[in-house]
């Protein structure tokens, strides 16, 4: 699908963005392992979440929609059933990595696969520590999917995570819940902590000490009524749009502002963005706020170190903000972006440069020479990557002339309402 975009009038009004994808995945999987009936309110309706639901149903989990929420009936680990067919994870790396940890300890054979993009994404990082726990996992060359998992009895491990990855951490916690003996995980850089918050609320034997997590198995998970907040990764596109389109004033309601996810706000504020958090509260253990964003001129910044894991999904749209900021910005330590749905460093470099940007690709990041008002309309491609598609759409809002975006349907992976909300605010799509 191709979409034409043009410079727009100020963004004004208020919106709610899609539900948080990370929390939706985890709420469904953890609920499936609880003893009894739980619910997931405001669960994200997108392709990735449908993949998780479909896989859980193939494992015998009952999931029903009722009055705007999903009811999940779990009966603990022992009630999971061997699937009759391959578990199709679609484009969802979260689905594949988390289910690999879950199934590593189940006494049956499971095969996980997905689309062509997912089959190119690295799985060795979860296979190696799970095999140390006793798992039996076969894969294609270099740890690529499909993954064949023959469930085994697992033992806890003491493990230093080599990368700041909440998916890896959660996969090992899911395995550790079934293992003999404690599992100790150490993080050099703190990744998003939704799993720890949710599992603790469900009664798991978790202890935290700085960057160290200790999980003691043997505690039954209690069902919860999870309330999923708005996804800050989705809100980021509209935060940047309202910041860089002059005259804008936009209120984004009910956004999750978990400190392990809110790095994008900190970076934009360091660049001069005008963002106010209002009506701050805690819902289901997660901090939530309404974000009021007013347009503001931006200056260059540097994103590196411990900040990167807290905003890694937002770097593509931050690159757009840097392109229209004053001065030279730099992103470093973001090599993880090369193994997402696309090579996001290479793609943002090539596509923003088509629009007149000055972006240099580094092995682990980008150097961006900002030029306020310097973007021009062009024909650009999302490379079937949802975050690339939305980032380029935001760039087009301030570009001179018309921009044509190809493979625009990629937004359905995580934010199906994106084009509808953009149309509501700009009337240009």
| Fold of domain 21-215 | UDP-n-acetylglucosamine1-carboxyvinyl-transferase; Chain (3.65.10)
Mean pLDDT over 345-366 rounds to 98
Tokens at 85, concatenated: 């067919």
Read off the pLDDT band of 211 (50, 70, 90): confident
What pLDDT is recorded for position 240?
A: 98
Tokens at 232, concatenated: 């800050």
What pLDDT is recorded for position 312?
A: 95
What pLDDT is recorded for position 190?
A: 86
The runs of H, that is alpha helices, within 84-226 are 93-103, 124-132, 166-176, 194-201
What pLDDT is recorded for position 35?
A: 92
Read off the pLDDT band of 285 (50, 70, 90): confident
Read off the pLDDT band of 374 (50, 70, 90): confident
What pLDDT is recorded for position 338?
A: 96
Read off the pLDDT band of 284 (50, 70, 90): confident
Read off the pLDDT band of 429 (50, 70, 90): very low
The pTM of this model reads 0.94
* CATH dotted code for 3-18+231-426: 3.65.10.10
In the chain, the percentage of residues whose pLDDT exceeds 70 is 99
Q: What confidence tens digit (pLDDT) does each residue in 60-103 have?
A: 999 999 888 999 999 888 899 999 999 999 999 999 999 999 99
**DSSP H or E segment with residue 39:** strand 35-41
What pLDDT is recorded for position 402?
A: 96
Q: What confidence tens digit (pLDDT) does each residue in 288-301 have?
A: 999 999 999 999 99
Q: What confidence tens digit (pLDDT) does each residue in 190-206 have?
A: 899 999 999 999 999 99
Spatial distance between the Cα atoms of 348 and 382, rounded to a whole number of angstroms: 9
What pLDDT is recorded for position 111?
A: 98
Annotated active-site positions, please?
313
Read off the pLDDT band of 132 (50, 70, 90): very high
Q: What confidence tens digit (pLDDT) does each residue in 7-17 have?
A: 989 999 999 99
What pLDDT is recorded for position 154?
A: 98
Residue intervals in the chain for CATH 3.65.10.10: 3-18+231-426, 21-215
What pLDDT is recorded for position 426?
A: 85
Tokens at 201, concatenated: 């609320």
In the chain, the percentage of residues whose pLDDT exceeds 90 is 92
For the chain, the three-class secondary structure string (H helix, E strand, C coil) is CCEEECCCCCCEEEEECCECHHHHHHHHHHHHCCEEEEEEECCCCCHHHHHHHHHHHHCCCEEEEECCEEEEEEECHHHCCCCCCCEECCCCHHHHHHHHHHHCCCCCEEEEECCCCHHHCCCHHHHHHHHHCCCEEEECHHHCCCEEEECCCCECCEEECCCCCHHHHHHHHHHHCCCECCEEEECCCCCCCHHHHHHHHCCCEEEEECCEEEEECCCCCCCCEEECCECHHHHHHHHHHHHHCCCCEEEEEEEECCCCCCHHHHHHHHCCCEEEEEEEEEECCEEEEEEEEECCCCECCEECHHHHHHCHHHHHHHHHHHHCCEEEEEECCCHHHHHCCCCHHHHHHHHHHHCCCCEEEECCEEEEEECCCCCECCEEECCCCHHHHHHHHHHHCCCECCEEEECHHHHHHCCCCHHHHHHHHHCCC
What pLDDT is recorded for position 52?
A: 98
Q: What confidence tens digit (pLDDT) does each residue in 310-353 have?
A: 999 999 999 999 999 999 999 999 999 999 999 999 999 999 99
Mean pLDDT over 245-270 rounds to 97
Mean pLDDT over 353-360 rounds to 98
Average pLDDT, the chain: 96
């Amino acid at each position: 699908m191709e979409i034409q975009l043009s410079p727009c009038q100020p963004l004004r009004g208020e919106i709610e963005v899609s539900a948080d994808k990370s929390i939706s995945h985890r709420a469904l999987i953890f609920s499936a392992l609880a003893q009894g009936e739980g619910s997931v309110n405001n669960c994200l309706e997108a392709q990735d979440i449908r993949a998780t639901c479909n896989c859980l149903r193939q494992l015998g989990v009952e999931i029903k929609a009722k009055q705007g929420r999903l009811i999940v009936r779990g009966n603990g680990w022992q009630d999971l059933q061997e699937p009759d067919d391959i578990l199709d994870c679609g484009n969802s790396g979260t689905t594949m990595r988390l289910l690999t940890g879950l199934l590593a300890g189940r006494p049956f054979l499971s095969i996980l696969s997905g689309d062509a993009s997912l089959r190119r994404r690295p799985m060795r990082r979860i296979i190696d520590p799970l095999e140390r726990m006793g798992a039996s996992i076969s894969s294609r060359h270099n740890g690529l999917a499909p993954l064949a998992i023959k469930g085994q009895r697992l033992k806890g491990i003491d493990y230093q995570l080599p990368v700041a990855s909440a998916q890896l951490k959660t996969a090992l916690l899911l395995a550790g819940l079934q293992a003999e003996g404690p599992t100790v995980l150490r993080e050099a850089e703190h990744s998003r902590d939704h799993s720890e918050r949710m599992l603790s609320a469900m009664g798991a034997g978790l202890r935290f000490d700085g960057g160290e997590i200790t999980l003691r198995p043997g505690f039954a998970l209690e069902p919860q009524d999870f309330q999923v907040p708005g996804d800050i990764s989705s809100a980021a596109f509209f935060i940047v749009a309202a910041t860089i389109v002059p005259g804008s004033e936009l209120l984004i309601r009910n956004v999750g502002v978990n400190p392990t996810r809110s790095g994008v706000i900190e970076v934009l504020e360091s660049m001069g963005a005008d963002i106010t958090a209002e009506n701050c509260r805690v819902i289901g253990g997660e901090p939530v706020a309404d974000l009021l964003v007013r347009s503001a001129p931006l200056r260059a910044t540097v994103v590196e170190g411990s900040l990167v894991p807290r905003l890694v999904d937002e770097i593509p749209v931050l690159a757009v903000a840097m392109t229209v900021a004053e001065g030279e910005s730099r992103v470093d330590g973001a090599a993880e972006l090369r193994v997402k749905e696309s090579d996001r460093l290479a793609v943002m470099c090539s596509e923003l440069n088509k629009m007149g940007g000055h972006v240099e690709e580094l092995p682990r990041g980008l150097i961006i020479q900002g030029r306020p008002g310097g973007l021009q309309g062009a024909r650009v491609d999302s490379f079937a990557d949802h975050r690339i598609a939305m980032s380029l759409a935001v760039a087009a809002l301030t570009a001179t002339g018309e921009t044509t975006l190809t493979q625009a349907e990629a937004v359905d992976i995580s934010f199906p309402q994106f084009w509808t909300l953009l149309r509501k605010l700009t009337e240009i799509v």
